[in-house]
Structure 1
Amino acid sequence: MWAFIGLRSAADLFYYADIVWFYIRLRISPEAIGPWIRDLRIRELHKLLPLLPRIFVALPFPQVVLLTGKYTSFDNFVFLIFFAPAQYTLRVYRGYGLFKRAPNTETGIGRWLRAILGFLPFILAAHLYGALWYHLSLQRELDCWFYACLDATVGCDLSQTFYYFYCGTETYFDNVLLNITHIKASCPINPPNATIFDFGIFLYALQCNLNSPNLGKKFVQCFWWGLRNLSSFGSNLQTSLYMLETFFTVLVSISGIVLFLIYLNSRVQISKQRSDQRKLRHKMHMMNPDIDLWLHKNGLSDQKLKEVIMKNLHQKLEEHKEVDVENILSLLPIIHQRRIMCRLSLNLLRNVAMLENMDEQVLIAICERLKPVIYTEDAYIIREGEPLDKMLFIMQGTAWSYTTSSNCNICGSASGSSNIKCLERGDFYGEELMNWASKLTSLSEFPISTRFVKCQTKVEAFAIRAKDLKGVVTKFWWHFSKGFESSQLEQLESLAISSLRAIRCRRHARARARTG
């Protein structure tokens, strides 16, 4: 007994530590629970509510039951039937939840552990119901003995036998000899007699002599009884008219059905997950050549970049999001998108006459505002006579740039003087927009397109809108000041003042961050 109390108390230390750790977490981060509650008293009560199940789980019920049974005549039946199973269930629930989050099903060990966890609820429930069956069997035999003592022909005094039935320590009866022959005759077990006393589902436990000190025998038999009847939904149990026995049998049957449904649902979910994983791997395998082709066309042979793309592709497919393989950049986070776009378009920007000798900081700012666009074959990108609201940099495909104001000639180069020009990879259109933005002119002087731009094939390009280009010029106005006219001096002065204020605000913010 003392060995059990010591081992059980040592196991309880983990639950005591959990209570202390949870309480410390509440003190360290009080806003984690109930941040919306204004009343301090209700807030404190709301904080302590999660502690209640932890305290209940840590209570030493079995130790108390053993000690009260040994040194007093206290009837511990209610504690063993109700409180101990409830505590055991809560402990199993919390422990099972932690174990279930641990395994990674992608590994071999994880798959085995997941399979074991699928059967774990059956095993734990079988252990619980087997222990209850064992305790109720002994209690049922004690009930029979009490009924026998009520019969005057048996010849036992209930007041004298009470402590012997419960292994009490009443010193007055330590040396009293009790003849139990008549009591056992009134409670026949082997062979049983249901007309005298019907033990129902507890008869097998008494016939197997489970009240012997052999712990291994008791443990195995009780576990087997629980597992067998849970798996058969209690269909083989022949009960007596004892109400608690009937209730216990119903509970076994319902628990078996619920556990089976839980296990069946988990297997269906696992099967669905595996099917989804197979479909996901197939989709990624089908998209892999397109990604390799895109990387090759753009001269991006970095293996780490491909790993980032595949990782984000896997995540989007898992979340059942639409994936546009034609727009590979959409598969990447914003940081990676900007980095790749800067890498691809930095040299393209230097092809623009105004940006040829521009500071790299300005070019990076323009790159960060570029947007990837895709146009289908024969689609019009820009029409003649419409406002030129974007500047275009061709990355893949071919587009025609032409005008209807004169006769159309055959396709020429981007730098030629013919009416029809071919815009291919590395070419751009809309330099007039750059000239307009660099002069800080008003919207009334907004450039109008003098040419049509039409796709000959599918075109992938980077585009920057007029307002974004204007924002870059406003931010880095001193790099474009050579193109400003004398009439714009007041505007330049206001821009300079705004820039100085922004620099001063940033310095103050950094200083506050360091001192704070």
Structure 2
Amino acid sequence: MEQGFGYFLFDPLFFFLLNAREDLKCIVINWPMTATLVLFRSLNDAIYFLNILLQFRLAYVSPESTVVGAGDLVDHPKKIALHYLWGYFLLDLFIVIPLPQIMLYFIIPTYLGFSGANYAKNLLRAAILAQYMPRLFRFLPLLIGQSPTGFIFESAWGNFIINLLIFMLSGHVVGSCWYLFGLQRVNQCFRNACSNSTLPGCKNYIDCGLSTDTPIEWHNNENATNCLNSSSGVFEYGIYANAVRLTTETNVVKKYVYALFWGFQQISTLAGNQTPSYFVWEVLFTMAIIGLGLLLFALLIGNIQNFLQGLGRRRLEMQLRGRDVEQWMSHRRLPEGLRRRVRQAERYNWAATRGVNEEILLENMPEDLQRDVRRHLFKFITKVRIFALMDEPILDAICERLRQKIYIKGSNILYQGGLVEKMVFVVRGKLESIGEDGTKINLAEGDACGEELLRWYLENSSVSTDGRKVRLPGQRLPSSRTVTCITNVEAFSLRAADLEEVTIIFTRFLRSPRVQGALRYESPYWRSLAASRIQVAWRYRKKRLNRAASQLD
């Protein structure tokens, strides 16, 4: 794709190699700029040639297999080579031939200073345009976002930028062709002035050649002088009137920028401000600009509309959901303070999920893909020491039961005296855990709360006759701490029923000393509980020692 873009960028610049000399009334070639363009064009040809060699080893999707299925990848070297030889090989070989370089350095210098130079220059322009069409055929499918295996630009931003790039390249080509055709009309005006003069061999003077030794009579020829003045009326330039003075500009940057501006302007306005002359090729060029402008506007405006709709669709969904929530709160007559909290929760929930229901999205995927996606989404649970010790089957069972939860600032996930009904893993945000004795623990990303529920299910259960674990009925775990959200929190929760099911299935593993040690000694909850009990035991021992010492005294 890079070499295709190089061709689109450099080839039209060859048109700016020619310009008119106002003092000599002739057409001249800018040789310093020629050397630069030939160098870049040769490098681009070399890269494209390497791309041709790569095609002989690049696997392809069999067209026959795409009819009945997703397509089989053919990687046999002989089949790849034959497929490319019978495909685009000849076209790519024609594209890579350095025709402009050959014309500039081997053919045009032979005719400089003679009347045949005009035909040689026409041949140069024809060679550039002849190679431009197959490049357009090869490059445009990639530019519009397609490849042999499907679309490669699937995002709204990607399509938007690609369409802008097409618009810019079109303006670049149209402006360059406008300058070239304008120079052609100036050349034709010089030829008409020569025909109307009595100066013998004046057609040889139209081309400056390698020498500037031309008769003074041609320099002062009134008709030739008026050819460089579009308002003189000596020649009808039509849409090329502004290009006449541009052909005498020696500053290549100014010349190119104005031509680029003209190309953008005409494509944008569909050449509505131009009135061509009766010259047939000028009329056809104007019609081509109008057709190209209509095509680009149909593509660009359509893609911009899709792009804006893609950006605004979620916003519209959010507005509609917000309206539904407002109507529900009004119907239920919620107090204003509660309404503010509901609005805040809705805004944060939408910001975190973008309105996508992950559970439904995952349910529509194949089971193995669901497992791999969940492993990626829930890999944070291995930061919890308890789960870092678990094998993949247990982690998969836990990840399958995790549910996304959103909490706003000030919400209580657990409160003292309430039932622990879930185990929560923090993905984003900060929480504060306050124990019965006032001990505070800060929780952040990667931490968990409610992990005491797992140990409680392991300890408060019995074994049935068939060896299955059964929780004793009527037992629920009360919370001994309050967990409050310091900021908005995004988390995943494991419900008590799901956690109980996991403990029943994997009881043997969960009862291993290593996991029990992690449960008891690595959990922030158990560490704080152990610290508080150690403090209580230390105070009790200190009081007992003081009492014993006082009795001895």
Question: Comparing both chains, which one has the higher relative contact order based on Cα–Cα distances under 8 Å and sequence gaps of 6 or more?
Answer: 2
TM-score of the superposition, structure 2-length normalised?
A: 0.46
TM-score of the superposition, structure 1-length normalised?
A: 0.48
